[in-house]
Amino acid sequence: MQDGYPGAMTQMGQYPAAGHVLAHISDTHLLAEGRALYGKVPVEQRLAAALARLAAGPTKPDAFVFTGDLTDLGEPDAYKRLRQAVEPVAERLGAEVIWVMGNHDERAPYASLLFDEPETDATQDRVHDIRGLRVISLDTTVPGYHHGELTSVQLEWLSGVLAEPAPHGTVLAVHHPPVPTPLEVMAVLELHDQPALAEVLKGTDVRLILGGHLHYSTHSTFAGIPVSVAAATCYTLDLGADAARLLSGVDGGQSFDFVHVYESQVVTSTIPLDSFPEITGFSVDYRPMIEAMPADDRLEQLSSKTSHLNLNEAAASDV
């Protein structure tokens, strides 16, 4: 069981802790020799910032899911550096690493350098079992192009995998998310023939679709299934940019997501890479006291506007 808060035993609300937690990271776009993207964005530092937040925070994910564009140019050294950066942190947290192909990746180095498999041009589709939660990494890339496609062979394979439900359901992880985008240029580079995918997913145990590619955080549904797109760790596309810009990539707003998988719900939350000055909060030292309270007292102390805890200036300023 996860949902992290070390030592937390008491259920405070109506929901038991999430059974599974995923860290959803996308579009790292690493370059060989640690080069900066466009000569400006220190992409390795951005990835390091995400990993540092994961390592320091209270939420301990069962898996890191990287939804593609792992590298910017498919350079072998970029894959080596990615693995060297990610694997020690994942190992320390006891998290499995799930990679997904993106349009900026290349299948041969992806297969050989991330999976120690022979170089191949074949689609990179894999199934992971995270204590009964099935995560399917599906390769939506088209060699030599930036838009997305799934072949009939892939759809048949997916249908075969989904024919048997998993104990805790399935999360489908792709690079090109099956959702509309208001960014017209990005719409050209979307996943083609989405109705064919919808047909395969209907009636299956897929509970959530994770995607990347858009470089901004967005949420929708597809064939009745929630879709969550993580913004990039490298740079983001600004939907609020000046109307004079057809497309605007900016060095700000980078984030990753947590996916909490509860018994009958999935919840996604966005975590900025930057940390900010805290202006209010409680020290973790308060937890044993709050846990020790009978439920009625806990409600009174935390919810009443006139409770000792809520009026206690020292507590309110204890950050």
Contacts with Fe ion by CB under 5 A lie at: 27, 69, 102-103, 213
For the CB of residue 216, give the shortest distance to Fe ion in the complex, in Å.
11
Shortest CB 229 distance to Fe ion, Å: 11
Q: Which residues make Cβ contacts (< 8 Å) with residue 59, sequence separation at least 6? A: 2, 3, 4, 5, 21, 258
Q: Which is nearer to Fe ion, 19 or 102 (CB)?
A: 102
Give the β-pairing of 225-229 and 236-237: unpaired
- Tell me the closest approach of the beta carbon of residue 132 to Fe ion, in angstroms: 30
Residue (2 or 67) nearer to Fe ion, CB = 67
Interstrand relation of 126-130 and 133-137 (parallel, antiparallel or unpaired):
antiparallel
Give the nearer residue to Fe ion in terms of CB position, either 145 or 282. 145
Between 60 and 213, CB nearer to Fe ion: 213
Q: Which two tokens stand for residue 33?
A: 């020799």
The CA dihedral of 78, 84, 90, 94, to the nearest 10 degrees, is: 140
CB of 199 to Fe ion, least distance (A): 24
Nearest CA to 68 out of 29, 102, 105 is that of 102
- Nearer to Fe ion by C-beta: 27 or 75? 27
Q: What is the DSSP letter of 41?
A: B
Minimum gap (Å) between residue 29 Cβ and Fe ion: 6
Alpha carbon distance 6, 1 (integer Å): 11
The DSSP 8-state label assigned to residue 16 in this structure reads P
Minimal distance, residue 276 CB to Fe ion, in Å: 25
Residue 258 in 3-state DSSP? strand
Which is closer to Fe ion, CB of 69 or CB of 190? 69
Q: Which is nearer to Fe ion, 256 or 266 (CB)?
A: 256
User: How far is CA 210 from each of CA 24, 114, 136, 232, 239, rounded to the nearest angstrom?
Assistant: 8, 20, 10, 13, 20
CB-nearer residue toward Fe ion: 126 or 147: 147
Q: Give the tokens for residue 317.
A: 């300023």
CB of 69 to Fe ion, least distance (A): 3
| Nearest CA among 122, 107, 103, 235 for reference residue 174 | 103
- C-alpha separations of 292 from 12, 286, 298 in Å: 11, 10, 9
